[in-house]
């Protein structure tokens, strides 16, 4: 296959190949986010030449279209991340349903409870996807009520990306140059002071402007590390008037008021602050690993010869960390005949077989065989974060409206940081707003 071949030519070739064997091409649609990058990757049919989320998924679709023997053509429908789920719901209502859709595992429960997605156990067996190969975290995310409702694609989590050069200046490295991680809130505050005294820089960057995810994911991680139960067993009540919640909010508030978090950062500025050397630790997910590796490779970078990444430091008694994952679902009504259903399952099997390629973005594999492979473990820093597939904690799938709940918690924590709202008032507001929301869901 010539590298210069256009996407249209590739589709025509697939169609021609199918017609040549006496079979009409089967077209299926793929609803996804991860950005648009046709200018860079629209012609790439070799996923090994791709980098980043957008480049990798675009190249995977191109490669499947160019190589599958069944004459299947996958047509990607790219949406913006922010309104994606609202748009997906609107499409379902309008009976304009995509064949396959990407879905966060934290959202899956809502769609399952509304009976909008197909169970896939039998389909997986028909194409040779063994659910026993799902990592523990991936399995928890896609199995609901004993049925498998999605193909897990990855696990992503909440990490510390570390400027080891700054830790070294503050005397916070081991003799072999590894960063020393704090093991309690007091140790964290002491380290933050040492970093600021030695470098003049805040310890942390995490997003506090125009986004609510970062404070929520940090808060939940600190709760899970205290073995706290955030939601009731039926998923319909949140409890944050607890010592664990007060501990977590107190720590976050101290970090903010004592100047150990760089203030006023939106998502882009948060990452820029880290690569520019304005902070010692960036709290963000594993999808940024490759970008930071590229930055650290530059001789003039503040991260040069000094980048490391680890799971969110264990500050309490239990090893635990907020985690979620991307998955792929078949929406009911998205396939209209057996040929389309078979084509959809064929493409899901292709994605499953390429879980390693997706893991190069920084996401942890959902396939345990990939996790254990020398190929995956040979990628930079992956051994540091492998335990997340075991210790990652996802909000239970019976908790509805998880994205809205994440926004509420984040808004109230941001209010504490930005306007000095008292911690008891923050806990009151979280409980009142979230429980009102949960009570409204039928």
Task: Tell me what percent of the residues of the chain surpass a pLDDT of 70.
Answer: 95
Domain ranges across the chain: 7-156+324-383, 157-323+393-440
Q: What is the mean pLDDT of the chain?
A: 92
pLDDT digits over 205-220, tens only? 989 888 888 999 999 9
How does DSSP assign 307-352, residue by residue?
EEEEESP--SSS--EEEE-EEEEEBTTS--SHHHHHHHHHHHHHHH
Question: Stretch 142-147: mean pLDDT, rounded?
Answer: 95
Quick one: pLDDT band at residue 119, thresholds 50, 70, 90? very high
pLDDT over 60 (residue 8): no
Residue 24 pLDDT: 64
The whole-number pLDDT of residue 7 equals 42
Radius of gyration, alpha carbons of the chain: 23
Burial 140-173 (b: 16+ CB within 10 A, else e): bbbbbeeebbbbbbbbbbbbbbbbbbbbebbebb
State how far the Cα of 69 lies from the Cα of 382, in Å rounded to an integer: 34
pLDDT category at 22 given cuts 50, 70, 90 is: very low
Q: What DSSP line would sit under 301-317, residue for residue?
A: STTTT-EEEEESP--SS
- Interatomic CA distance for residues 211 and 410, integer angstroms: 8
**Average pLDDT of the segment spanning 100-122:** 96
> Per-residue pLDDT averaged across 178-201, rounded?
98
Q: Kind of pairing, strands 26-32 and 100-104?
A: parallel
With 60 as the cut, is the pLDDT of residue 2 above it? Answer: no
Q: State the average pLDDT over residues 377-405.
A: 90
Residue 50 has pLDDT above 70, yes or no: yes
Instruction: Examine the pLDDT at 10 and tell me if it is beyond 70.
Output: no
Name the residue with higher pLDDT: 189 or 384.
189
Residue 5 pLDDT > 90, yes or no? Answer: no
Mean pLDDT of 114-137: 96
Supply 281's token pair. Answer: 């630790």
pLDDT on residue 52: 87
Q: Are 296 and 303 in contact (CB under 8 A)?
A: yes
In whole angstroms, give the CA distance from residue 239 to residue 22: 61
In 3-state terms, the chain is what percent helix, strand and coil (to 5)?
A: 50, 15, 35
Looking at domain 157-323+393-440, its CATH superfamily turns out to be Periplasmic binding protein-like II (3.40.190.10)
The pLDDT score that the predictor gives to residue 21 is 46
Provide the token pair at 372.
């254990």
Please report the DSSP string for 175-218 in residue order.
TTSPBPPP-SHHHHHHHHHHHHHHHS--SEE---SS-SHHHHHH
Q: What is the mean pLDDT of residues 172-192?
A: 97
Are the folds of 7-156+324-383 and 157-323+393-440 the same? Answer: yes
Say which CATH topology domain 7-156+324-383 has.
D-Maltodextrin-Binding Protein; domain 2 (3.40.190)
User: Cβ distance 173 to 156 under 8 Å?
Assistant: no
């Amino acid at each position: 296959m010539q590298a210069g071949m256009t996407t249209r030519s590739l589709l025509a070739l697939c169609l021609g190949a199918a017609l040549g064997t006496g079979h009409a091409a089967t077209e299926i649609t793929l609803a996804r986010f991860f950005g648009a990058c046709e200018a860079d990757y629209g012609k790439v049919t070799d996923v090994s030449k791709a980098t980043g989320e957008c480049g990798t998924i675009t190249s995977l679709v191109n490669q499947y279209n160019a190589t599958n023997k069944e004459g299947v053509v996958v047509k990607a429908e790219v949406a913006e991340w922010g309104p994606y789920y609202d748009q997906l719901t609107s499409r379902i209502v309008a009976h304009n349903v995509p064949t396959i859709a990407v879905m966060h595992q934290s959202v899956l429960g809502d769609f399952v409870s509304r009976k909008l997605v197909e169970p896939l156990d039998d389909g997986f067996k028909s194409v040779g996807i063994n659910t026993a190969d799902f990592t523990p975290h991936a399995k928890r995310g896609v199995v609901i009520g004993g049925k498998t409702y999605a193909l897990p694609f990855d696990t992503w989590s909440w990490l510390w990306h570390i400027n080891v050069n700054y830790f070294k200046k503050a005397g916070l490295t081991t003799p072999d140059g590894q960063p020393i991680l704090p093991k309690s809130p007091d140790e964290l505050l002491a380290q933050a002071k040492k970093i600021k005294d030695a470098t003049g820089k805040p310890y942390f960057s995490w997003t506090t402007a125009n986004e609510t995810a970062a404070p929520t994911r940090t808060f939940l991680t600190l709760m899970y590390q205290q073995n706290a139960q955030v939601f009731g067993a039926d998923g319909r009540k949140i409890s944050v008037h607890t010592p664990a919640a007060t501990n977590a909010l107190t720590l976050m508030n101290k970090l903010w008021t004592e100047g150990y978090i760089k203030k006023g950062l939106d998502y882009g500025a948060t990452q820029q602050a880290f690569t520019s050397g304005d902070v010692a630790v960036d709290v963000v997910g594993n999808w940024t690993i490759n970008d930071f590796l590229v930055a650290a490779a530059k001789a003039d970078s503040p991260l040069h010869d000094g980048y490391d990444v680890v799971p969110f430091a264990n500050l309490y008694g239990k090893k635990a960390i907020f985690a979620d994952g991307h998955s792929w679902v078949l929406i009911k009504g998205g396939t209209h005949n057996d040929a389309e259903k078979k084509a959809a399952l064929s493409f899901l099997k292709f994605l499953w077989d390429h879980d390693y390629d997706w893991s190069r973005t920084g996401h942890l594999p959902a396939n345990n065989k990939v996790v254990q492979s020398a190929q995956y473990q040979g990628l930079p820093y992956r051994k540091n974060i492998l335990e997340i597939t075991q210790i990652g904690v996802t909000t239970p799938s019976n908790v509805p409206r998880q994205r809205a709940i994440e926004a509420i918690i984040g808004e109230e924590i941001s209010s504490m940081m930005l306007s000095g709202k008292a911690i008891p008032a923050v806990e009151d507001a979280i409980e009142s707003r979230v429980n009102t929301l949960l009570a409204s869901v039928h």
